[in-house]
Structure 1
Amino acid sequence: MPLLFLMRLQHTPLPVRVVQPKEIRNVSVLVATGLIEAEISPLKPTDPYAASRMATVMRITEEGLAEIAKMGDLPKFAKTSMRFARGSRLMS
């Protein structure tokens, strides 16, 4: 669900890269509704099973923060990011 994904993003240091297809769909919906700013780009496959797309979430917009405030307190999510060289993070 895109709004739950938005709540997860609130607790993740941004920018963050997203590669899971379901999460990329969530990013797509949140960008289309103006709740986040992100770039969605194709990946160059390194093997036959590589993911076809990647998204980089830059920030949550003011509208996104307002939507989070409307939802109130939801349970905290487990931290799901990993740090890579040069400060990149990948959500899993």
Structure 2
Amino acid sequence: MPLSFLNRLQHVQLPVRVANPDEVRHVSVLLATGLIEAEITTLKPTSPYVSSRMATVIRITDDGRAEIAKMGDVPPPTRTFVQFNRGLRLM
């Protein structure tokens, strides 16, 4: 669900990269509705099991923060993200 993904985004340091196909779709919906700023790129597939799209979420917009405020007190997600050298993070 894109709104629960938006809630997860507020608990991570942005920008963050997203490679999971379902999460890339969430980013696409949130970007189209103006709730986040993001870039979606198409990658050259290295194997048949690797996702061909990746998204970089840059920030949550003011409209996105207003939508989060409407959701009320939602507990923070328990899922973590991986941090690589040079500050890159992958959700």
1:16 matched to 2:16? The reply is: yes
Alignment correspondent of 1:4: 4
Unpaired runs of 5+ residues, structure 1, are: none
> SS at 1:41's partner residue?
strand
Contact 1:12 1:79 in 2 (8 A): no
Which ranges of 4 or more aligned residues in structure 1 deviate by more than 2 Å? none
- Normalised by the size of structure 2, how large is the TM-score? 0.95
Q: Alpha-carbon deviation of 1:33?
A: 0.4
Q: Which residue of the partner structure matches residue 30 of structure 1?
A: 30
Match of 2:78 in 1: 78
Gaps of 5+ in 2: none
Instruction: Calculate the aligned-residue CA RMSD, in Å.
Output: 0.9
How far apart are residue 90 of structure 1 and its match?
A: 0.3
Which range moved further: 18-27 or 78-87?
A: 78-87
1:17/1:57 contact within 8 Å kept: yes
Identity of aligned residues (%): 68
Shift of 1:80: 1.7
